Structure 1
Amino acid sequence: MSYEPPRPVRGLLLTPEDKEAPARVQRLRRLGLADRADPALDAFAGHLAQLTGASYAMVNFIGEEHQFFAGLSVTATAPIVREDGSRAEIGRVLPRDHGFCPHVVVRHKALVLEDVRDYPRFAGNPVVDEFGIRSYLGAPLLDSSGRALGTLCAADTAPRTWGRAGLETVKALAADLVARLEGGVRDGLPL
């Protein structure tokens, strides 16, 4: 009997443990941001999509069991057609183990994936196969206490060179958005 090394399991991606989730959910409720779409946040996501040229942009609040896109921008061409002919359409809610935002929230750091297939840790994520996501750019929404409320992110169905400019843009917009949310100012979003 010969030794056979374990085969990699496609789609295996451990979502990081999120010990801050209960406190984050309470904070989001206090700010009036719990699981409710917001036209001003949709506009803010649209502004990010326009700046980056991305197919998708989101203001994403991370709960204990799921993610909620309080702000969502999807280009007309974004819903991809799968091999079986069905369409993949992103809604407002995703399980917590889908996508890359939970990693940004737990790490409290921006994440740039120019081609997710280059990173074994991320290549098997469900959004890669289900929605055709190939690139991601996201920054945490860090409140004044340092707690990550969620993310501001952009994603695309093709590999993208986001570069330093993309990273600085998403980080600056995330900081601006948090200042507005904590100040109760949603009118006038985006800039």
Structure 2
Amino acid sequence: MLSTQFPKFLNARYRVKDLIGRGGMASVYRATDERLGRDVAIKIFELRATDEPDIQRQQSEINVLASLNHHSLVTLFDVGVDRTEAKHPQIYLVMELVDGVDLRRRLDGPPMSTRHIAQIGYDLAEGLDYIHGRGVIHRDIKPANILLAEYSSDSRARARLTDFGIALFPDSARVTSQGMTTGTAAYLSPEQARGEDVGAASDIYALGLVLLECFTGEAAFPGEPIPSALARLHRDPTIPEELPPEWRHLLSTMLAREPEQRPPTAEVVLALHQAVIAETGRHRSAADHHLASDERERLQEITRLDILDTPSDGTFDRITSLAARLFSVPIAIVSIVDTDRIWFKSHHGLDIEEIPRDPGLCASAIMSDGPWIVENARADPRALANPLVAEQFGLQFYAGVPLTTRNGYNLGTLCVLDFEPRLITEAEIRTLTDLAALVVSELELRLESRRLALSDD
């Protein structure tokens, strides 16, 4: 229920809807940006700016935050001031609305694997390295401020850091109206607890506490705010003996009481990247045989349908042309993923016949059980390093639906591409799925026709 103290329509643009969550400093609402036709999250601060210089200072700092753009951060779209009550203007932030749960809720569920913890840590460390390089310190790293973004067809949720409400710039200071250090007591660094100046090392300490909690399921310094804050000044958090040595070393250095003893953010990124590689290798070793078997059977399906390197076909060309028109995109493709290449059975708006398998998004899409959607390739961690995105081709939007045979194997995709980011609706995804099913049906019909022709002979 929307609080009556806030207008339901901000800046003649944002229609405020349901309350998502409420904290000590602000409330977050789901809203619709009626200019762009997309849902957003709006954070309205409870603390009110009292004069114009105060408003300008807040806006100046928030504008710097709005310039941040990284796949491990929740994007800040806009900042504004609500002047409905002339004497009490209020700052509000317009942010990306992320589908998924926060890490606090996830920690209430089943234990996480070491691999998943490594992936979360790596995502967050990359985001911190980015903001620290721009002089921003988050100051409130905690599970509730970490969103696990669900991409519809990705293999895992990606950690995204949010809530820069008390982010600190090194040349400023910020305390609460009671003169206490800002932040959440259970995740304060020792220097925050002492009320001292903080830097990047403070965020590293808080990240260490979050990762430790992912392993143990419990906060290292629970309890009431003041005892919790003081506890870290007298003891180090307990790191379980059963953790692998490399994790014990990393967490113990991140959780050193003195800031100068903690590793720089870039080193934490490297260490967690190595942890992801190591854990992924262990995870894959048990599954490699099964995956290899699946790939052999998938390739046998392609052979059964006898589709590779066949001549151009008007039926499939009409399907890609129809897809391009329905989605108002320049390119649509029926692709078949072979051992080392992606071959295009039909390609509307594109002259090439095939590309190597490694950089192709279609090769990722066939690993999914459903649609594989990249709405903004330059902000999506699954596509950032892809040469079709990063290099001259300039791909920004990709939506691919697997071509799934009656035996349950994905031959390739029906996909639509654009050079601009765009949103896709559930109805559009269903349409693309129906067209993909039509492609597979046509392939099966042609195979059956060939068999009947041979039998007649």
Q: How do residues 108-127 of structure 1 correspond to structure 2 at under 5 angstroms?
A: 108-127=369-388
Deviation string 1:131-179 (CA, Å, 9 cap, x unpaired) is 1100011100110011111100001000111221221111111112211
Asked if structure 1 preserves the Cα contact closer than 8 Å seen for 2:342 and 2:360, the reply is no
The residue number in structure 2 matching 1:30 is 304
1:92 is aligned, of 353, 356, 359, to 353
- The structure-2 alpha-carbon separation of the partners of 1:128 and 1:90, relative to structure 1 and needing over 3 Å to count, comes to farther
Taking the aligned partners of 1:173 and 1:94, their CA distance within structure 2 comes to 23
Alignment of 1:12-161 (within 5 A): 19=292, 20-40=294-314, 41-74=316-349, 91-130=352-391, 131-161=393-423
Size of the aligned set, in residue pairs, is: 165
Contact 1:101 1:150 in 2 (8 A): yes
Query: What is the Cα deviation at residue 110 of structure 1?
Result: 0.8
1:177 aligns with 2:439: yes
Q: TM-score by structure 1 length?
A: 0.76
Give deviations 1:45-66, integer Å, cap 9, x for gaps.
Answer: 1111111111110000001111
CA separation of 1:21 and 1:38: change in aligned 2, threshold 3 A: farther
- Residues 152 and 170 of structure 1 are in contact (CA less than 8 Å); yes or no, is this contact kept in structure 2? yes
| Matched residue type, 2:382 | R
Contact 1:37/1:69 (<8 A) preserved: no
Instruction: Please give the secondary structure, in 1, of the residue aligned with 2:382.
Output: helix
Identity of aligned residues (%): 29
Query: What is the rounded CA distance, in whole Å, between the counterparts of 1:105 and 1:115 in structure 2?
Result: 20
The structure with the largest alpha-carbon Rg is: 2
Name the TM-score, length of structure 2 as normaliser: 0.34
Letter in 2 for 1:60: S
SS for the counterpart of 1:107 is: coil
For structure 1, the 5+ residue unaligned runs are: 10-16, 75-88, 186-191
More helix by share: 2
Give the alignment's Cα RMSD to 1 decimal.
Answer: 2.6
Deviation at 1:44, TM superposition (A): 1.7
Deviation string, structure 1 residues 94-142 (Cα, Å, up to 9, x no partner) = 1111232111111232111111122112121111133110001110011
For residue 37 of structure 1, report the CA deviation from its aligned partner: 4.3
How far off its partner does 1:90 sit?
5.3
Give the conservation status (yes or no) of the 8 Å contact 1:37–1:71: no
Q: 1:93 Cα deviation (Å)?
A: 0.9
From the superposition, tell whether residues 37 and 109 of structure 1 become closer, same or farther in structure 2 (CA, over 3 Å). farther
Moved over 4 A (4+): none
Q: Equivalents in 1 of 2:356, 2:439: separation in Å?
A: 24
- Counterpart AA for 1:52: F
